[in-house]
Amino acid sequence: MSSSRRTEVAQLARRLADAHPQQVLEEAFQHFEQVAISFSGAEDVVLVDMAAQLGIPFRAFSLDTGRLHPETYRYLDTVREHYGFDLEFAFPDAAEVESLVNAKGLSSFLADGHKECCQARKVAPLKRKLAGLDAWITGQRRDQSVGTRGEVAVVELDAAFSTETRPLVKFNPLAAWSSAAVWDYIRANDVPYNPLHARGFISIGCEPCTRAVLPNQHEREGRWWWETAADKECGLHAANLRVVND
């Protein structure tokens, strides 16, 4: 990877470290031609809303793992229609999922841990999607997991998906925002939200691996609750969490 790209990203990271998320989005769209928001169907809808408010064309994509809640599928269409844009989808490779399910059944993650299933249903399709981008934008926040996301930077070189010849920049505009700030924004701007949030879900992923949490329970306790906290990354972000921006 060229040192000029590293320098460029380091400068961007320093300049945007304390910037408002909408400014980060705007600069991401200005600096990169092939850039898209990764939209999970949860609170990261604020990024879609902020991008729409900028009034410039933008791209967003979701991963359809095949195991999302029915509410999330309906919600993804709600967002698409509300903002009037073509939400893109990335799907797992059918043969890969078929092979896993035929060998281990539909719920192998309960016995073997979630990483194998996440690799087939999330990481592989994401990798294919990112191969066509120069930069991507996520809703990751530091307060989502003190254990694994406490060092999320606003701008970083993607340590998981960059290659020597194709550096990938990752923007996390909401890195410094709290959950309360996100919900203040959603309410103040009448942003449509996933109805699962009204039923106690905070972090929303696949249906078999997500459950509602009780008051004062951390949101990540609703994900892969049969595993230890240190294992609760699906591979989409895990390798980025210790990246230094210079």
74-113 residues near ligand SF4, rule: CB under 6 A: 109
Region class of 15: left (phi > 0), else alpha (psi between -120 and 50), else beta: alpha
Instruction: State in angstroms the smallest separation of the CB of 100 from ligand SF4.
Output: 9
DSSP per-residue letters across 4-51? HHHHHHHHHHHHHTT--HHHHHHHHHHH-SSEEEE--SSTTHHHHHHH
Candidate residues 49, 69, 122, 152; the one interacting with ligand SF4 per rule CB under 6 A: 122
Assess contact for 49 and 58: CB atoms under 8 A: no
Q: Annotated active-site positions, please?
A: 234
Q: Where are the beta strands (DSSP E) in the chain?
A: 35-38, 60-63, 88-90, 135-137, 155-157, 169-171
Q: In the set 148, 208, 229, 231, which binds ligand SF4 (CB under 6 A)?
A: 208
Among 205, 213, 222, 232, binds ligand SF4 (CB under 6 A): 205
Q: To 10 degrees, the CA torsion angle through 233, 236, 239, 245?
A: -120
Stretch that binds ligand SF4, among 5-13, 152-160, 167-175, 206-214 (CB under 6 A): 206-214
Closest separation between CB of residue 230 and ligand SF4, Å? 16
Residue 217, classed as helix, strand or coil, is: coil
Whichever of 122 and 141 has its CB closer to ligand SF4, that residue is: 122
Site residue total, ligand SF4 (CB under 6 A)? 13
Among 114, 220, 232, 237, binds ligand SF4 (CB under 6 A): 114
Task: Between 134 and 207, name the residue whose CB sits nearer to ligand SF4.
Answer: 207
Strands 35-38 and 60-63: parallel
- Which residues contribute to the site for ligand SF4 (CB under 6 A)? 65, 67, 109, 114, 117-118, 121-122, 205-206, 208-209, 234
